[in-house]
Amino acid sequence: MARVSYATSLMKRGVLISTTEHALSALMGAGIDNAILELDQLELPILDGSAKPFLEAIHRVGIKRQRRQRLYWRISRPVEITDGDKFLGVYPADGYSVAYTIDFPRPIGLQTFDLELTFGFLRDERALRNMGLIRGASEENAIVLSDTGVKNGPLRFPDEFVRHKILDLIGDLALLGHRILGRVVANRAGHAMHTALVSRLLRDHSLWEETQIPSEQPVFEPLEAAEPALSHG
C-alpha cells in the first residue's frame, strides 16, 4: 500500500515508512531487484537529498547476480493520465526512457529533461514538518528556495529540479515490482500521478506483457566475489 503527498510512503501490517523513492530509485539504477533494507526509524534518511549516498552504499556492499533471469513488463498499449494541465503517459518502446517537463513558479520556471536531485520552497517547510516529513532535512541536504531565488546554492546542475523529478519517478515506478520497457512522458506530474500510473498498470494486465531480454544471461557468483559496480541483480 502506497501513500503520497510530498513524498512516497509505504504501509504494510500497520507500519508506515516514509520517503522511499530515492532508495528505490538507487536500487533500480544499480540493477537490483532483490534486496533487504533494515531501518531503525519510520522515514528513510534524506542524506544529501539525492540517490547518490544510497548508490555508494550499494557499491560498498557489492552486488550478487542471481540465477533467475529478469522479467520485464513491456508496455503493449498507451496509458495516459491527466489532471488539468498535469499529464503522465507511458507508451510501447523497446527500452526504458523518460521525458519530464516541470513548470514551477520562479525561481525554477520551465525545465525539461530527457532522462536526476531534493528541492523545496521555504514556504512549504512548516506544513511538511507538521505532516511528519523532512524531519532530517536541513540546508546541507536540501535545496531551499525563497521567492527571490536559491537560498543555499550552488546547484549541482542548472536543470537540477527536473532531474530530481525523474529520480522520484523512477523510484515510484519501482513499486510495480518489475522494470518496464516503455517510453514515459510527464508534464507537471508528481508523486500522486506516478503512483496512479502504478495502480493502473497493476490493475489492468492487458496494458503490458511479461518478457525477457535475451542478451541478459543469468549469472551466479558468491557475494564476496561480486564487483561493487552496477550489474543486474
Could you give the dihedral angle defined by the CA atoms of residues 152, 156, 160 and 164, in that order, rounded to the nearest 10 degrees? -90
**Distance, CA of 169 to chain centre:** 4
Nearest CA among 51, 39, 31, 48 for reference residue 10: 39
**Half-sphere CA count of 39, side-chain side, radius 13 A:** 13
Active site residue 178: no
Banded model confidence at residue 116, pLDDT cuts 50, 70, 90:
very low
Identify which of 9-23, 106-120, 188-202, 210-224 has the greatest average pLDDT.
188-202
Catalytic residue among 22, 164, 191, 194: 191
pTM of this structure:
0.71
* CA 186 vs CA 45, 56, 103, 115, 141: distances in Å: 27, 28, 11, 11, 26
Cα–Cα distance between 69 and 194 in angstroms, integer? 27
Sign of CA dihedral 102, 108, 112, 114: negative
Q: Average pLDDT, stretch 54-72?
A: 87
